[in-house]
């Protein structure tokens, strides 16, 4: 394959055919020719409106299914097969078989990258001689040789073109819920695409100088944008902290008021405490209850202050490298009893060598908050297995930790407010957990967000990768 040519259509748009043409990637040392390949991919969006639309086109009554079931159906339909002589080579095309490793990439850039649960279709390859790809026995797929690696890298180089077009359409159509912030747009503009394109028409002898000048300017713009970006984050954090303070005052007062009442009562009638009279007897009878009120309130205030630790600004020592698995063990040692008493299973599978960089206590607090939430909401469900699943991926700079649970789904209408201090659907919740957890992540140059297109409730923690 020396180049790729294909068409791309957007069903939610006007369906017109857009041509995609690409030169093939240079073949790398560990790759060999994979022969001609034919590919057909269907991409689907997973937000409510799109799913409803898609099911409508399939003539399925969406209102009877509901979004969660519909998404499960979509996931079951997903998967990219490899076909040879019209036969599917297994396990390619099985829904959970993510042979292009798409989920890991999507987690890192969810608004743009396509996940394996958003793609279905097939790749047709030629016979062994032409393609160089050799089938292993008993559903083990293709030998991982140079040709197979070539096939994967060719598809991986095609996908971003689809992703970009889809992203652009979604932006224009106002579908991507979070429009790029001004900084993102400006960053895109700073690549000076038009200028660079126009340059191609200028005689070569002048070009090099111009390119250098433009690159210099673009770099300056990018440095400035980094600063704007950082400043914007600071402002966002201030706003978030302001709300946290308001909430803490509110919660603190709620706890303090009954304590003050108790103290006043205890103080006012103290003189009767040891008297052999009705009022003395009453005082002694009420004494344990008043003390209980004080203890309960004091404990709650203590807990409230402890929760604020990650955002107190009081940094304990320097940021350091620490093992992710240690943070998980810390969390589980605290939560194990609660998890067991609610019959919640917890699954995870990641190399114990993965390290994070920052404050271990902060990540620990984030884990605690998210797992506490998951535990609470799982315990409200019945007739099903209760499961928390932790999945980890990394790239050069970051660790991405997805904490998922199969409890009740979070209504779309609330999704944008989850991280606001004070937002809570829990009867005795303060609504501080997620707000603090996100600030704790950001203080370590990480972040926290909800994975809006996952089937289960899933929060993704981003944290600097350690060494």
Ligand X SMILES: Nc1ncnc2c1ncn2[C@@H]1O[C@H](COP(=O)(O)OP(=O)(O)OP(=O)(O)O)[C@@H](O)[C@H]1O
Interface positions with ligand X (CB under 6 A): 369, 373-374, 377, 405, 407-408, 410, 418, 423-426, 429-435, 457
Binding segment for Mg ion (CB under 5 A), chosen from 81-89, 163-171, 366-374, 411-419, is 366-374
Residue nearer to Mg ion on the CB measure, 373 or 394: 373
Q: Which residue has the tokens 């309960």?
A: 296
- 373 near Mg ion (CB under 5 A): yes
Rounded to the nearest whole angstrom, what is the least distance from the CB of residue 375 to ligand X in the complex? 8
Residue nearer to Mg ion on the CB measure, 154 or 365: 365
Decide: 423 and 85 in contact? Cβ < 8 Å.
no
CB atoms within 10 A of CB 397: 10
Residue nearer to ligand X on the CB measure, 146 or 310: 310
Rounded to the nearest whole angstrom, what is the least distance from the CB of residue 118 to ligand X in the complex? 23
Out of ligand X, Mg ion, none, which partner does residue 405 contact, by CB within 5 to 8 A per kind? ligand X
Residue nearer to ligand X on the CB measure, 221 or 256: 256
Q: Which residues pair with 390 in a beta bridge?
A: 348, 403
From CA 99, how far away is CA 81, in angstroms rounded? 10
- 103 near Mg ion (CB under 5 A): no
Residue 156's closest CA among 295, 293, 317, 24? 24
Residue 72's closest CA among 408, 453, 416? 453
* Cβ-based burial of 424 (10 A; exposed 0-12, middle 13-18, buried ≥19): middle
Which residue's beta carbon is nearest to the bound ligand X?
433
Residue nearer to ligand X on the CB measure, 150 or 438: 438
Long-range contacts of 104-112 (CB under 8 A, 24+ apart): 104/393, 104/400, 107/393, 107/400, 107/402, 107/451, 107/460, 108/393, 108/395, 108/398, 108/400, 110/451, 110/452, 110/453, 110/460, 111/167, 111/176, 111/178, 112/163, 112/164, 112/167
Binding segment for Mg ion (CB under 5 A), chosen from 35-43, 47-55, 130-138, 425-433, is 425-433
Residue nearer to ligand X on the CB measure, 365 or 434: 434
Residue nearer to Mg ion on the CB measure, 81 or 373: 373
* Cβ-based burial of 153 (10 A; exposed 0-12, middle 13-18, buried ≥19): middle
Binding segment for Mg ion (CB under 5 A), chosen from 42-50, 62-70, 350-358, 428-436, is 428-436
Binding segment for Mg ion (CB under 5 A), chosen from 251-259, 311-319, 358-366, 430-438, is 430-438
Rounded to the nearest whole angstrom, what is the least distance from the CB of residue 246 to ligand X in the complex? 14
Rounded to the nearest whole angstrom, what is the least distance from the CB of residue 282 to ligand X in the complex? 36
Per-residue DSSP letter, 349: -
Quote the tokens at residue 417.
């407010």
From CA 242, how far away is CA 31, in angstroms rounded? 55
Residue nearer to ligand X on the CB measure, 151 or 402: 402
Out of ligand X, Mg ion, none, which partner does residue 100 contact, by CB within 5 to 8 A per kind? none
Residue nearer to ligand X on the CB measure, 132 or 391: 391
Rounded to the nearest whole angstrom, what is the least distance from the CB of residue 372 to Mg ion in the complex? 6
Biggest alpha carbon–alpha carbon distance for the chain: 108
Phi, psi of 194 (to 5 degrees): -65, -45
Out of ligand X, Mg ion, none, which partner does residue 371 contact, by CB within 5 to 8 A per kind? none
Residue nearer to Mg ion on the CB measure, 110 or 433: 433
* Cβ-based burial of 19 (10 A; exposed 0-12, middle 13-18, buried ≥19): exposed
From CA 425, how far away is CA 435, in angstroms rounded? 14
Residue nearer to ligand X on the CB measure, 298 or 429: 429
Per-residue DSSP letter, 230: H
Out of Mg ion, ligand X, none, which partner does residue 424 contact, by CB within 5 to 8 A per kind? ligand X
Q: What is the dihedral sign for C-alpha 260, 261, 266, 267? A: positive
**Site pattern 141..170 for Mg ion (x: CB under 5 A):** ------------------------------
Rounded to the nearest whole angstrom, what is the least distance from the CB of residue 370 to Mg ion in the complex? 8
* Cβ-based burial of 433 (10 A; exposed 0-12, middle 13-18, buried ≥19): buried
- 433 near Mg ion (CB under 5 A): yes
- 407 near Mg ion (CB under 5 A): no
Rounded to the nearest whole angstrom, what is the least distance from the CB of residue 247 to ligand X in the complex? 9
Rounded to the nearest whole angstrom, what is the least distance from the CB of residue 402 to ligand X in the complex? 12
Q: Which residues pair with 37 in a beta bridge?
A: 125
Decide: 414 and 452 in contact? Cβ < 8 Å.
no
Rounded to the nearest whole angstrom, what is the least distance from the CB of residue 167 to ligand X in the complex? 28
Rounded to the nearest whole angstrom, what is the least distance from the CB of residue 17 to ligand X in the complex? 42
Out of Mg ion, ligand X, none, which partner does residue 431 contact, by CB within 5 to 8 A per kind? ligand X
Quote the tokens at residue 391.
């999945």
Rounded to the nearest whole angstrom, what is the least distance from the CB of residue 461 to Mg ion in the complex? 15
From CA 441, how far away is CA 365, in angstroms rounded? 10
Residues making contact with Mg ion (CB under 5 A): 373, 433
């Amino acid at each position: 394959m020396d180049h790729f040519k294909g068409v791309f259509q957007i069903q939610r748009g006007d369906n017109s055919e857009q041509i995609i043409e690409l030169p093939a990637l240079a073949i790398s040392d560990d790759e060999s020719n994979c022969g001609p390949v034919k590919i057909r991919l269907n991409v689907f969006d997973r937000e409510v409106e799109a799913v409803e639309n898609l099911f409508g086109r399939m003539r399925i009554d969406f209102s009877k299914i509901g979004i969660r079931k519909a998404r499960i159906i979509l996931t079951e339909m997903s998967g990219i097969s490899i076909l040879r002589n019209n036969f599917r080579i297994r396990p390619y095309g099985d829904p959970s078989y993510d042979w292009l490793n798409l989920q890991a990439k999507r987690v890192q850039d969810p608004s743009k990258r396509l996940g394996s649960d958003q793609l279905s279709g097939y790749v047709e390859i030629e016979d062994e001689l032409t393609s160089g790809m050799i089938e292993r026995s008993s559903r083990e797929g293709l030998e991982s040789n140079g040709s197979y690696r070539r096939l994967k890298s060719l598809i991986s180089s095609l996908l971003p073109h689809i992703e970009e077009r889809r992203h652009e359409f979604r932006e224009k159509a106002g579908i991507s819920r979070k429009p790029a912030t001004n900084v993102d747009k400006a960053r895109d503009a700073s690549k000076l695409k038009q200028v660079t394109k126009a340059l191609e028409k200028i005689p070569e002898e002048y070009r090099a100088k111009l390119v250098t000048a433009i690159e210099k300017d673009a770099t300056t713009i990018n440095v400035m944008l980094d600063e704007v970006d950082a400043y914007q984050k600071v402002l966002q954090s201030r706003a978030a902290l302001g709300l946290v303070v308001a909430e803490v005052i509110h919660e603190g007062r709620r706890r303090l008021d009954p304590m003050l009442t108790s103290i006043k009562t205890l103080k006012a009638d103290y003189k009767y405490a040891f008297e052999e009279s009705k009022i003395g007897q009453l005082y002694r009878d009420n004494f344990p209850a008043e003390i209980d009120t004080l203890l309960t309130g004091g404990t709650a205030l203590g807990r409230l202050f402890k929760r604020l630790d990650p955002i107190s600004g009081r940094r304990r020592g320097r940021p350091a490298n620490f093992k992710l698995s240690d943070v998980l063990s810390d969390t589980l040692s605290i939560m194990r009893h609660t998890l067991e008493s609610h019959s919640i299973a917890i699954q995870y599978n990641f190399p114990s060598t993965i390290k994070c960089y920052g404050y271990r206590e902060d990540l620990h607090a984030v884990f605690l908050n998210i797992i506490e939430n998951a535990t609470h909401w799982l315990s409200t469900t019945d007739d099903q297995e209760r499961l928390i699943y932790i999945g980890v991926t990394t790239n050069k700079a970051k660790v991405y930790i997805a904490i998922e649970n199969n409890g009740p789904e979070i209504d779309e209408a609330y999704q944008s407010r989850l991280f606001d201090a004070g937002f809570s659907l829990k009867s005795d919740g303060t609504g501080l957990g997620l707000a603090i957890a996100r600030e704790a992540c950001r203080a370590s140059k990480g972040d926290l967000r909800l994975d809006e297109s996952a089937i289960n409730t899933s929060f993704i923690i981003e944290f600097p990768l350690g060494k």
